[in-house]
Structure 1
Amino acid sequence: MAPSLRDAQVASLKTLLNLNTPLAQVDLDDANEPSTPKNPWKVLVFDSRGRDIISSVLRVHDLRAAGITIHLHINTTRSPIPGVPVVYLIEPTAENLAILTSDLQRGLYENAHVNFLGKIDRPLLEEFAAQTVASGTAEHIAQLFDQTLDYVCLDPDLFSLNMKGIFHTLQSALTADKDLENCMDRVVDGLYSVIATMESIPVIRCPKGGAAEHISAKLDRKLRDLVLSSKTNSSSDQKARPVLIIVDRALDLTPLLSHSWIYQSLVYDVLDVDLTKINLRIPVDKNDPEKGTKKLSYDLTASDYFWARNATLPFPNVAEDVTNEWNKYQEDADKVTAKTGTSIEDLSGESQQFAAHLRGAMERLPELRERKATIEMHMQILEILMEGIKNRHLDRCFHIEEELSAKSKVQMLDLIKNDLGNNSVDKLRLFLQWLLTTEEDISRADLDSFTQALEAVGAETTAVKYVKTVRQLTRMTMISSAPTQPAQSTSQLFGGFSGLSSRVFKDAKLSANLEGVLSGIKNFLPKNTDLTLTKITESLMDPSNAQNDAIRATENYLYYDPKSSTARGTIPAASQSRNQQNTVGRGIDATFGQRRQGFSEAIVFSVGGGSMDEYGNLQAWATRTSASGQNRRVVYGSTALYSANEFITKELTPLGKEST
């Protein structure tokens, strides 16, 4: 099986840190040593984007293993470190190049290995070359590379271009054509980086009109240049190719507003998550609230086995599994204690109690300590999630959304006024979803009544003004789907969990009142329902088993093949990307054979924002359909990954202010 996107990016980064020498060329003996003649000690300098990219997949011990003795931000004050090479990982901007030139003039390091995250524009490169020649520092530049790493990998097959505000930029009538072009060029560069990392030229499918078509056309041109300049890439290549599905976020806004019962979606909804770092506020003393709170941070790393196994599962399953994992850990720890006569906490690698017959038990200590830290981290996360679920009635919100579109105007108004307490933001999210999905006619008077009711409970309703303007268009592109299995009661599961886990959480020195936290939380598993984007993906990957509505929705999707001489066209003005209906097609209309062509691998990209809920839904579909025979893989990406509150605040509210 092909490596995951994260594994491929990690391999590229390690090669970069090894001074762009493939790791296979390093002797095996040298590979185990942090610093060797072939892999010397180095300084790493990055800008903010480079930091985000590298910190999402590598940790400090990974950098040390690659020979990085110190890592610094390019904008910090840095002292000279003579005799040591430096690796730069930066965006190709005029500001960064000015600092780089200054570093070379000051002689901060022995020599510079410069790596740009994306391709540097020729005028900027010529200007940098002129500055280097004028300052006489050319001899200090050992390497200069255009890398294709301009994206952030957040999970094995999840990436983000980390471009917040793109949905507003593309949808706003106030955005200048030049800004639109620059915005789309950045998206194209990011997608090009992902494709280059995966080392496979995809077929591109997208709807007619809008930013998705414009980006597809630009990307097609760029990939054609790659195919023409590559000696190994030929149209006769028999390697199975993926399909790249590019859609506009306006296709379906509900996944960015919905409440989920899936672990990873709850984490991103309830907690403060920055890329792969979870920031928590916990009490200094749970028995004395007056002592205030302290900050606690956790990283979701590739080695986190519990997250890898449970991220896409419903919350009750995760709560049960953490209990089982703690019990397994306690059993293994007890076995070590029985052999050594002392507990794991009292043992250390330097202990004088070592004896030959105890070596086997001692060798398990690092693994047991790591397991304990992982389990305790997720226990802490689950405890705070439980509080959030109870305080915000998230179980009730999720249950309401299961049948939200069937609610009448009277029922929805009553829910806003009398249900869920004064949870204003969650009520706004419920209403926006209902507005986008209901079949009822909504008059101006109806909308005023809803707006007043939301404002009465403290909601900021500016976003409603924008959503009402795109309601009809979004309703035409959304695809309804009957659940493949009904919601399941889990009262027995949750009941058993609360009694057993209360003791377990006490043992882990967490909440002593777990039953109180869990009381009132509804116990059920979600319906197995595919979202609109999942249905579209199925219709393009597996059309023989797709829903008829999805087949009709993708019937007129454009077809681009960068390896074909026919599937291409011209690029119109950027301002036409705002028009969802009247843009002249630039790809080709797919033939019947192309429309019915199946794929085992897809890259699904949303222009304007994505959500963990959508990612999890796609992965669940891929897992479910792979079980029936052909293995399927879906890589999901977006211009930025949002929580619902962030999407409303940063994207919908500014657009609402511009709406009349």
Structure 2
Amino acid sequence: MNVIQAVKMYITKMTEESGPGMKVILMDKETTSIVSMVFSHSEILQKEVYLFERIESHTKCDNLKHMKCIVFIRPTSENIALLSRELRYPKYGVYFIYFSNVISKADVKTLAECDEQETVREVQEVFADYLAVDRHLFSFNIVGCLHGRSWHQQHLQRCSQGLLALLLSLKKRPVVRYQAGSEPCSRLADRIKELMRRESVLMDNNIPFNGDVPPPQLLILDRRDDPVTPLLHQWTYQAMVHELLTINNNRVSLAHLPDVSKELKEVVLAPEQDEFYAKNRYANFGEIGQTIKALMEEFQRKAKSHQKVESIADMKNFVETYPLFKKMSGTVSRHVTVVGELSALVSRHRLLAVSELEQEMSCHADHADHLQLVALYGLRYEKHASNALAELVEALRGAGDGGRGGSGGGLSAVLALEYGGAHGLSGVENIYTQHTPLLKDTLEDLIKGKLRENLYPTVGGEDLSMGRRPQDIIVFIVGGATYEEALCVHQLNQTYTGVKIVLGGTTIHNSTSFIEEIKSAMQGVHRTHTRHIKNV
């Protein structure tokens, strides 16, 4: 199960089916991100796509009838209206239309009626309706999916449709399980099961039946069950970049740095396009520094070898190695700049000390020390407009009750204090990486066939009593996943031979976006939430 490969396959299919010749690709905002996550600009150019247009930015221009237009959009009502307008007054010679998900017959009829000049050559459904972040990681880029403990309807629809597309692209027909006690998980599981039933013919045509292997499992979890993980500072390269600089669709902005060169104002960090990043995204901060140093030394050695170009043979050798040389130059500049800024931020914000305290609080029970910290907080921020002292005191009172989000806990960062006790690693030498996401325990129980059915029931009560352990697992976290959990999944994929796990979330969180998630969920329901805390 490789989500990047699945999306790339569909996009390659689009560019090839339109045949040779100059092409333009017409996309919406979301499909633009879907494509850019898996293909670089230069890779798309190699497929004879020379122009990129947004369907919502329709502009009048010179006649481009000599160009073929590949349309790749989501099947929303807005996009159908925009495409209808495009087909009534076609700018390009022919159109090959691909929708990222299932489209209704009524919408196809609407488009056919608008195609008066008969420019449409193809209309197809492809199932690339999600952001492929890594081979085993996907997202929908939704922050603020819930209102209190209920879905925003548009986000429920987006996630259910996106997960259907994921299943079709990976050719999996799973047993659907969800976290008991979580209304959002239950609602999403029911919606996906209904979509699978409604599109049973489509699934039958796309997914081969194999009765000899255990069925895949789609496990839907609630972020509220582990609010600690998104709040902790991370020390692996990928997670650090996201926490301190923010990764947005594989892009990192460095425009705020003084004297940064134009080409480094925004850098792309994509494992499929950057070999160094692919090999080192899970390396810890200490290791990455040494690796960067070795990379620089290698580059300097190669640069020195090219300083003298005195013969035809020297010139030929330089020309042959130039693309690789240029690529390595870009890699060195990019990662030296990023790591340098990470190092500066670690020093400026004293993150080693902060992280040690976070790890101690999340992995060890020391009520006296934690009470002292709350007291210091109260004295320092007594008159601050956003003072959360009352909530912290209530959190300390409730510590040890063992309640988690899935069984009634509120989605609030202040309650993270309640949930830290049992999931540390004893005897770990690195004090900055003691914490282990709850997801690891959950997935290991699932892999071993020990995940309790009363806590994680199946939709429709499908029988799991045969005890066949799943080989393919898709886990989706309502409220967002993290890069720490992506690392956890990567490690489990390496540890358990024959087991393949893919992780997804409404978004990929760092601590800032997680706080935004909390604020969004609590808007308008703060009083109810406060009463809930007092009743704990």
Choose from 282, 299, 303 the match for 2:268: 299
1:48 partnered with 2:16: no
Contact 1:540 1:554 in 2 (8 A): no
Aligned residue for 1:111, secondary structure, equals strand
Work out whether residues 608 and 638 of structure 1, in 8 Å CA contact, stay in contact via their aligned partners in 2.
yes
2:235 corresponds, among 261, 279, 288, to 261
Matched, 1:467 2:465: no
In structure 2, C-alpha distance between the alignment counterparts of 1:86 and 1:278, rounded to whole Å:
31
8 A contact 2:68–2:92 mirrored in 1: yes
**What residue in structure 2 maps to residue 26 of structure 1?**
none
Give the Cα–Cα distance (whole angstroms) in 2 for the partners of residues 148 and 479 of structure 1: 42
1:191 is aligned, of 153, 163, 188, to 163
* Compared CA separation, residues 67 and 428, structure 1 to 2 (3 A): farther
Q: How far apart, CA to CA, are the structure 2 residues paired with 1:398 and 1:418?
A: 22
Give, in whole Å, the separation in 1 of the partners of 2:285 and 2:220. Answer: 31
Q: Number of paired residues?
A: 509
C-alpha distance in 2 between matches for 1:113 and 1:432: 57
Deviation at 1:658, TM superposition (A): 2.2
Q: Secondary structure at the match of 2:492?
A: helix
Find the counterpart in structure 2 of residue 410 from structure 1: 371
In structure 1, what is the Cα distance between the partners aligned to 2:209 and 2:410? 49
Call closer, same or farther: CA 1:554–1:439 in 2, change over 3 Å: farther
Provide the rounded CA distance (Å) in 1 between the counterparts of 2:504 and 2:226.
Answer: 15
**Which of 477, 489, 492 is residue 621 of structure 1 equivalent to?**
492
Please report how far the alpha carbon of residue 385 of structure 1 lies from its aligned counterpart in structure 2 after TM superposition.
0.9
- 1:483 counterpart (425, 449, 455): 425
| Superposition pairs of residues 103-114 of structure 1, within 5 angstroms | 103-114=86-97
* Mapped contact 2:238–2:483 kept (Cα < 8 A): yes
Larger radius of gyration: 1
- Of 522, 526, 531, which residue of structure 1 is paired with 2:433? 526
- In structure 2, distance between residues paired with 1:650 and 1:212: 16
In the other structure, the counterpart of 1:270 is: 244
C-alpha spacing 1:205/1:650, structure 2 compared with 1 (3 Å): closer
Equivalent residue number for residue 217 of structure 1: 190
Distance change in 2, residues 1:258/1:71 (3 Å) = same
Residue of structure 2 in register with 1:547 after alignment: none
Give the alignment of 1:507-546 within 5 angstroms: 526-527=433-434, 529-543=435-449
Structure-2-length-normalised TM-score: 0.84
Partner of 1:171: 149
Q: How does 1:599-638 map to 2 (within 5 A)?
A: 599-623=470-494, 625-626=495-496, 630-638=497-505
- Whole-angstrom CA distance in 1 between matches of 2:135 and 2:508: 15
Quote the Cα distance in structure 2 between the aligned partners of 1:101 and 1:319.
53
Identity %: 19
Structure 2 residue runs without a partner (length 5+)? 402-408, 528-536
Establish whether residue 57 from structure 1 lines up as the match of residue 55 from structure 2. Answer: no
Whether 1:85 and 2:68 are equivalent positions in the alignment is yes
Instruction: Check if 1:13 corresponds to 2:5.
Output: no
What one-letter code is carried by the residue in structure 2 that aligns with 1:46?
Answer: M
The alignment partner of 2:65 has SS state of coil
Aligned-residue CA RMSD in angstroms?
3.7
Residues 16 and 250 of structure 1, relative CA distance in 2, 3 Å threshold: same
CA offset digits 1:152-185 (Å, max 9, x no partner) = 111222110122321x33625xx7xxx53x4323
Q: Within 2, Cα distance between the matches of 1:310 and 1:434?
A: 42
SS at match of 2:473: strand
Q: Secondary structure of 1:39's partner?
A: coil
Q: Give the match for residue 659 of structure 1.
A: 526
Residue identity matched to 1:297: E
Q: CA deviation at 1:371?
A: 1.4
Alignment of 1:62-461 (within 5 A): 62-76=43-57, 77-79=59-61, 80-132=63-115, 136-137=116-117, 139-166=118-145, 168-169=146-147, 171-172=149-150, 180=153, 182-209=154-181, 210-229=183-202, 230=204, 233=207, 235-238=209-212, 241-285=215-259, 296-301=265-270, 302-337=272-307, 341=308, 355-356=312-313, 359-405=316-362, 406-408=365-367, 409-413=370-374, 416=377, 435=395, 439=399
Residues in 1 aligned to 2:523 and 2:250: alpha-carbon distance in whole angstroms: 30
Secondary structure of the residue aligned to 2:38 is coil
Q: Secondary structure of the equivalent of 1:208?
A: coil
Preserved CA contact (<8 Å) 2:73 2:98 = yes
Q: Specify whether residues 319 and 304 from structure 1 end up closer, same or farther in structure 2 by C-alpha distance, changes over 3 A only.
A: same
Residue by residue over 1:406-462, the C-alpha shift from the partner in whole angstroms, topping out at 9 and shown as x without a partner, is: 24343322564799x9xx9xx989x97994997368xxxxxxxxxxxxxxxxxxxxx
In the superposition, relative to structure 1, how do residues 170 and 219 fare at CA in structure 2: closer, same or farther (>3 Å)? Answer: farther
The letter of the residue matching 2:64 is: I
Amino acid across the alignment from 1:328: E
